[in-house]
Amino acid sequence: MALGERLHQLRELANLSQNELAKRASVPRPIISMVESGKQKSMSLENARRIARVLGVTLDLLAGEGEDANPA
């Protein structure tokens, strides 16, 4: 699963809009939107850390390490 798909799935599981995630993580909303849509294939480590922290997941899970694990 691509980063954007994982991010979208995890964000939905957390019941957060892109705007709310952006606000809580202090990450610009367009970055979240572009990653989720696949227009941007990666993000900075700092943004990934902030997003993972808000979503309550590890960077490994966000990055797709151990993709067999279900994030739910």
Task: Name all domains of the chain by residue range, CATH numbers in brackets.
Answer: 3-63 (1.10.260.40)
Residue 35 pLDDT > 90: yes
Instruction: Specify the pLDDT at position 53.
Output: 98
Whether the Cβ atoms of residue 3 and residue 41 lie closer than 8 Å to each other: yes
Sign of the dihedral through C-alpha 72, 68, 9, 26: positive
Q: Can you tell me the distance from the alpha carbon of 14 to that of 32, in angstroms, rounded to the nearest whole number?
A: 15
What DSSP character marks residue 1? -
CA 19/CA 27 separation, integer angstroms: 10
Q: Is the pTM of this model over 0.95?
A: no
pLDDT at 69 over 80: no
